[in-house]
A and B are shown apart, each in its own frame.
Chain A
Amino acid sequence: MPEPSLISLKDIDKRFANGVMALRGVRLDVAEQEFVSLLGPSGCGKSTVLRVIAGLESADAGEVRRLSSNRAETAFVFQDPTLMPWASVFDNVWLPLRLAHASRAASADKIQAVLRRVGLAGFESAFPAELSGGMRMRASIARALVTEPRLMLMDEPFAALDEFTRHQLNDDLLSCWQAQRFATIFVTHSVLEAVFLSQRVLVMGQRPGRVVADMRIDEPYPRAAAFRTSPRYHAACTELNAALARLHADVDQVVR
C-alpha cells in the first residue's frame, strides 16, 4: 500500500476471562478512507477485533498501531442502535459533541446537517421509542458521523433490519462514506452485504479468530442497485462463499 495505514494490527492475541482463545495472530491494515468489511461466522471474534481497535478492550499480545493517537477520531456503531431512550434524536446526536464540551447551540448546525444526511430531518424532537428500527439505526449513524471521524467502526449495524431497509441503509451509508470519506471497518456475516459495500473483504476464521482471506472488490463507486444483479457481484460472492466453505471444511477436519 502506498500510503501508511490508518490502523494496523500486528499479531493480535486475545484470550477471554473464561480461557477461550478469541483471537490468535490477527493482522490487518486499513488505509485512510478505505472501506473494509470483516466477514465471518458468528463467534469468530469479529466484534472483538473492533473493540480492540476502539480501545474498549486490550490485546494480550501484539501491537495496535494507529496513525493518529486521537481516539476521539474513532466512531463506533453497534448492532443495537444504543440510543439514550430518555433523550430526543437531537440530544442523542449531540452526545459526542457534548462530551467534548460543545454547547447545544454551538452544535445545532452540525447536528441538523448530519440528520439531513441520514434522512432524519424533521425528527429532531422525536424520542427513540417513537421511531422504527431503521430510523433508530439512522440516528445511531448520525451520532457517529457528527464528530467527522477518520475511522468508523461498525459492528453488524444492519443485522436486525429487514432486507428492504438494509438495502436502503447500505445505499445511504455509501453516500455518506463518499461525502465524508472516513475509513470504515464494517463487521458483517452477510456475504452479499460485504461485497456490495466494500473495497476489500477480510474473511475471518473461528476458534481461534484469525484473518484467512483478503479479497479486493474492484467496482467503482457510486455503486448502483444494478451492481447487486451483475455477474461481477455474483462472481465475488461465489469466491467468498468458497473461502467460507473451505473454512468449515478445515474446522471439520480439526474436529475429527
Chain B
Amino acid sequence: MSASWQARLSPVLSVLALLLAWEGVVRVAQIPHYTLPAPSLVVQTLVANFPSLAGSWWFTIKITFGALALAAIGGVMIASMFALSRGLEHAFLPIAVVLQVTPVVAIAPLILIYVESTTAALLLCAWIVAFFPVLSNTVLGLRAADPLLRDLFKLYRASPWQRLRLLLVPSAMPYFLAGLKISGGLSLIGAVTAEMVAGAAGRETGLASRILEASFRTETPKMFAALLLLVITGVAIHWAFNALSRTLLGRWHASEKQ
C-alpha cells in the first residue's frame, strides 16, 4: 500500500519541486516577466484571460478529437482492407508511408491552398499525422490472431462476421489501443502544428494562433497560459486512453497486468 502511494505521489512531488524552483529563480534573479514569467503569474494570466482563451481552447480540442476520431475510424477501415487483401496492402501502404514520413509543416501550406474551409484543412493535417499508428498497429493486430483459434472457428463453421466479431476484433484490440494512445498525442501535435501554419486565418482560431498572436505582442505570460492549456489537454488524452486500455484489457492482457 505504502509503495503504491509513493508511486502515485512521486511525480506530483517532482513537478511541485520544479515549479517551486522556477518561481524561486524568477523572483530571486528578478527576471522580467516578458522574458520568463513565474508560474504564479502564468496562472494569474490564465485566470484573467480564461473567457477569451476558452473559445480557442475549445476550437483546438474540436480539431484534435475530430482528427483523432477520423484517424481511428479511417485507420481501422484501411487496416481491415489491408488485412483482407495483401494485394491492397502492397498497393496502398507506400502511399500511407509517404503521408506519414512527410513533415506536416511542409504540406500544411499546400493543403490550406487546396482546401477552402480552414477547419477542414486543419482536420486533414491533424488526421495525416495521427492515422498511421492506428493503421499499422491494427493491421498487425488483425494478423496476430492465434492460428489454432482460427482453425477452431473454421471447424465450427463460423461465419465471416462471427470470425470478425469474436476472434479478429478482440485479438486486434491490444494493438489498436496501443496505436490509439500514440495517435491521441499526435492528433494534438498535428492540430497545433497546422494551426501554426494557418496563422490567424479564418474566423475561428485555436490556441496555436493565440500563442502566435501573444508572441507578436511579447505577451509572454499569455503564451505560457495557452501552452499550459495545451499541456493539460495532452495529459488528459494520455490518461483517458491509459484508463480505457486498463478497462478493456486489464483482466487478460499481459500489458495491463499488475
Contacts and interface: CB of A to CB of B under 8 A. Distances in A.
Contacts, number: 55
Given A128-B252, A129-B252, A86 B156 contact: no
A82 B148 contact: yes
Given A75-B155, A76-B151, 9 more contacts: A55-B155, A56-B154, A72-B156, A72-B157, A78-B152, A80-B148, A86-B170, A86-B173, A98-B166
A41 B115 CA distance: 67
Interface of B: 146, 148-149, 151-158, 162, 166-167, 170, 173, 249, 251-254, 257
A71 B166 contact: no
Contact of A99 (B156, B170, B251, B257): B156
Main secondary structure of the interface of A (DSSP, over half): mixed
Nearest to B174: A86
B155 A71 contact: yes
Contacts of B257: 129
A96 B162 CA distance: 11
Contacts of B155: 54-56, 71, 74-76
Contact of B252 (A55, A85, A95, A100): A85
A99 B149 contact: no
A43 to B, nearest CB: 18
A204 to B, nearest CB: 21
Contacts of A87: 170
28 contacts: A54-B151, A56-B151, A56-B154, A56-B155, A71-B157, A72-B156, A72-B157, A74-B155, A78-B148, A78-B151, A80-B148, A82-B146, A82-B152, A84-B166, A85-B253, A86-B173, A86-B249, A86-B253, A87-B170, A95-B156, A98-B166, A99-B156, A99-B157, A99-B166, A127-B251, A128-B252, A129-B251, A129-B252
Interface in A58-81: 71-72, 74-76, 78, 80
Contacts of B156: 72, 95-96, 99-100
A51 B152 CA distance: 11
Interface in A118-158: 127-129
Nearest to B158: A99
Contacts of B173: 86
Contacts of B158: 99
